[in-house]
A and B are shown apart, each in its own frame.
Chain A
Amino acid sequence: MVETTVRVEDLKKWFPVRMGFFGSLVSRKELFVHAVDGISFEVQKGEIFGLAGESGSGKTTTGRVILRLTNPTSGKILFKDKDITRLRDRQLKPFRQKMQMVFQDPYESLNPRMTIFDIVAEPLRIHGGLSPKETEDKVHKTLDNVELTPPEEFTTRYPHELSGGQRQRVGVARALTLEPEFIVADEPVSMLDVSIRAEVLNLMVDLREKMQVAFLYITHDLAVARHTCDKVAIMYLGKIMEKGPIEKLIFEPLHPYTQALIAAVPVPDPSSKRIDAMIKGEIPSPVNPPSGCRFHTRCQCYIGDICRTVEPLLVETAKDHCVACHLYGNSKESAAKAGGD
């Protein structure tokens, strides 16, 4: 039995480009950064869903839009089958309890003037309804859960007294106090030292098992994703290029971009010779994304005009494994659909 915690349908987020007064006189056309440009996926209960890609591919924006930290341009966000896309602040509040976020930088995301107790208790105070005693119990229990033990030793301290790994666990604890069902973890370990990254990642894996929390794990590191995620979606310039179970994606990647990303991951083995076929160039600007398949400017498997003119649709090739690439057929179908959009 699978229970879908979050589903997004054709989600788009465009940011307008400011041109200034003179610019707006010269050019009539409004320009947009196509940060997220029509993506759909779902995250099941108790699942860690990875969102991977280069910087500028729209991963973080996706996470923020799902939590309604910014409003989507179009598309739908469903939390347990309830549409929360257009809810107003007050209607959204009960959902906010159920959806939390862990930020990238634990050195910036904790208020240096608040004690650990206050940081972890703040969400409880905002959402209210607990007596001071209950709040204290709850904070202690949460700190216990993230292995900051004994909790009494941490509650009176300030963030600067903790190490990076401990700080990030406070960040996780803050997200957990309200017992959410869905957490967006935006590169939670990229600011941490290598030797302590695993402790935060393992914590995430354990919490998933213990509390059945669904995670959206945003990362650029496929090697780490391989060992933590269940499913993963590869993003490029606001589009999903390929998604599926992590094992499939790593061992049988279909999309040339996925293949390139995997080839770019260094291997901790001096005898391995990585494939030298590295793709060229860098990610183009999302203000004016390439026509057709967005990846065609860098693709090593370019098969002709179709890549330049027709946008490939995300099509299921095997169970749960979807890819958006003309190499795998469906061009007619995708052409028809793209024309109809």
Chain B
Amino acid sequence: MPLLEVKNLKTYFRVKRGSVKAVDNVSFEVEKGEAMGLVGESGCGKTTIALSILRILPSNGKILGGNILFRGTDLVKLTEDEMRTNVRWKGISIVFQGAMNALNPVYKVGEQIIESIRLHEEYVTKEQADERVEKLFELVGVDPSRRDNYPHEFSGGMRQRAMIAMALSCNPELLIGDEPGTALDVIVAAQVLKLMNDLRMKLNLSMIMISHDLSIIAETCQKTAIMYGGKIGEYADITKVFKEPLHPYTQGLMGAFPGIRAEKTRMSSIPGSPPDLLSPPPACRFHPRCKYAMDICRTKEPELVDVGKKHYVACHLVHQRI
């Protein structure tokens, strides 16, 4: 049984002009010790999936359908109390994008981590929690004596490391990284990603890595789902996606990410812009930007079908070929 199984998840946001179909019928699995990547442009629903799994959606967001099975329990059906005491932080935790803004500037960094430990594990004393923070700081590569510092005394990379320490403070089995490197400088971002990768192997964690950068996913994950307009377009083992991308959108994204040592080429872009999820294009959501679009693409929605060896693609063109 996989550690996490998301089945037909539907999360919509209510706004004045209607409902934003941010996540529409998304399914995937994460095994124990495995890292999965969620890739896509801004507004494709990556972060909404993460927020849905932890049930921390903003008040206008709602899970309208589907199941999120974590260790066999459906998180969608749990009460708020059960989520807090059993799931959040003890089972699943998250590292957000802007580590700079995620820490409270008027409390010491160590105190904030102690607070999160004691909130989720009420029986832990302050002293025990402090000991744990010391070990966690060592684990993420920050000098433990710095736990009495305030966030402004930390550099960006250290703050992100502290956030990772906080996420690991209650021994979760699944860690979600929501663009953990994006707001950092190139070198520091690489350090943080390496740390997360090392920790995953050391602690046998499962991970969901969210990023718009295919290269980052290629380096850290074993499998990946390419998202477009709230849906998964392609879902497979990482080597399969990179060696033979089947969905035209995946192919387009690949062209937009030239390797630094690759042959000097003209970069390719995908014409048009990402869809407005208030009124997404009918049928295949990618068809207005797809150079292979056929009549069927405008009338019938392609399903995510296994085209061989667990390589799932939602595209009529690929389906016709097999």
Chain B hits for A247, CB < 8 A: 264
Asked if A227 and B242 sit within 8 Å, CB to CB, the answer is: no
By secondary structure, the A interface counts as helix
Most buried by A among B218, B260, B261, B265: B260
Contacts A54-B185, A198-B267, A205-B266 given; indicate if A269 touches B259 (C-beta within 8 A): yes
Bound-state CA distance A166–B271 (Å) is 11
Asked if B242 and A198 sit within 8 Å, CB to CB, the answer is: no
Asked if A268 and B215 sit within 8 Å, CB to CB, the answer is: yes
Contacts A163-B273, A194-B253, A282-B156 given; indicate if A267 touches B185 (C-beta within 8 A): no
Q: How far is the CB of B233 from chain A (nearest CB, A)?
A: 12
Asked if B189 and A193 sit within 8 Å, CB to CB, the answer is: no
Q: How far is the CB of A222 from chain B (nearest CB, A)?
A: 6
Shortest Cβ distance from B258 into A: residue? A227
Q: Mark B157-192, 1 if CB is under 8 A from A, else 0.
A: 100000000000000000000000000011111110
Contacts A195-B252, A270-B239 given; indicate if A279 touches B187 (C-beta within 8 A): yes
A260 within 8 A of partner (CB): yes
Q: Mark B81-108, 1 if CB is under 8 A from A, else 0.
A: 0000000000000000000000000000
Q: How far is the CB of A325 from chain B (nearest CB, A)?
A: 17
Shortest Cβ distance from B255 into A: residue? A198
Bound-state CA distance A195–B268 (Å) is 8
Bound-state CA distance A266–B189 (Å) is 10
Shortest Cβ distance from B223 into A: residue? A270
Contact of A199 among B187, B253, B269 (CB under 8 A): B269
Asked if A268 and B257 sit within 8 Å, CB to CB, the answer is: yes
Asked if A227 and B265 sit within 8 Å, CB to CB, the answer is: yes
Most buried by B among A197, A198, A224, A262: A198
Contact of A267 among B157, B215, B264 (CB under 8 A): B215
Shortest Cβ distance from A228 into B: residue? B267
B293 within 8 A of partner (CB): no
Contacts A54-B187, A164-B273 given; indicate if A278 touches B242 (C-beta within 8 A): no
Chain A hits for B219, CB < 8 A: 266-267, 270, 272, 274
Q: How far is the CB of B305 from chain A (nearest CB, A)?
A: 23
Shortest Cβ distance from A193 into B: residue? B41
A299 within 8 A of partner (CB): no
Contacts A227-B264, A270-B219 given; indicate if A194 touches B187 (C-beta within 8 A): no
Residues of B within 8 A of A (CB): 41-42, 155-157, 185-191, 193-194, 212-216, 218-219, 238-239, 242, 252-261, 264-274
A-B residue pairs, 6 tightest by C-beta: A266-B215, A198-B269, A198-B267, A163-B273, A264-B190, A195-B270
Question: A196-B270, A197-B269 are known contacts; what are 9 more A-B pairs with Cβ within 8 Å?
Answer: A163-B273, A165-B273, A194-B41, A227-B265, A260-B187, A265-B186, A266-B190, A266-B215, A266-B219
